[in-house]
Amino acid sequence: MQLKQVIIAHKAGDSISKRWAEQCARQLEERNCNVLMGPTGSKDNPYPVFLASATQSIDLAIVFGGDGATLTAARHLSSDGIPILAVNAGGHLGFLTEPLETFIESEQVWDRLLDDRYAVQRRMMLQATVFEGIAPTWNQ
């Protein structure tokens, strides 16, 4: 995997996820990676700005938060095929995220990604629509 341009999103209002995001941004920038970083949450949606301001293709999105932050990233990035590395930092649930403890040696994570020593889990995403009002009648 190349790491020329990376998105890093951290849970809005959470100092732990922000601190990890800043540390990872520094590490990646030292490796000549362009980093786009911002908060994500109920009032913060950085993904349209990230996608509009990207100077080249985005190689990876790193999300520090919980499952909600991960699902938000997936909703906005899946159509572009951007892989997401989700780390549970500041989140309440962690079914879709890696535990923060496995990310402590983050420099080794970058080495593994650059050396193509990683696995991608493809996940299914459902889309649903809710209609309100009177149900249509069907001709029989």
In CATH terms, the fold of domain 5-114 is Rossmann fold (3.40.50)
Digit-coded pLDDT (tens) for 2-60? 999 999 999 999 999 999 999 999 999 999 999 999 999 999 999 999 999 998 999 99
Per-domain residue ranges of the chain: 5-114
Tokens coding 132 = 């309100």
Torsion angle, alpha carbons of 81, 56, 119, 113, to 10: -170
Query: Who contacts 66 (Cβ-Cβ below 8 Å, separation ≥6)?
Result: 11, 88, 90, 91, 92, 93, 94, 97
For position 28, what pLDDT does the model report?
98
For position 102, what pLDDT does the model report?
83
Query: Who contacts 126 (Cβ-Cβ below 8 Å, separation ≥6)?
Result: none
Q: Is 68 exposed, middle or buried (0-12, 13-18, 19+ CB in 10 A)?
A: middle
For position 121, what pLDDT does the model report?
86
Digit-coded pLDDT (tens) for 45-65? 999 999 999 989 999 999 999
Digit-coded pLDDT (tens) for 79-127? 999 999 999 997 777 788 888 888 889 999 999 999 999 988 888 888 7
Whether the Cβ atoms of residue 44 and residue 12 lie closer than 8 Å to each other? yes
Catalytic residues, by residue number, are 67
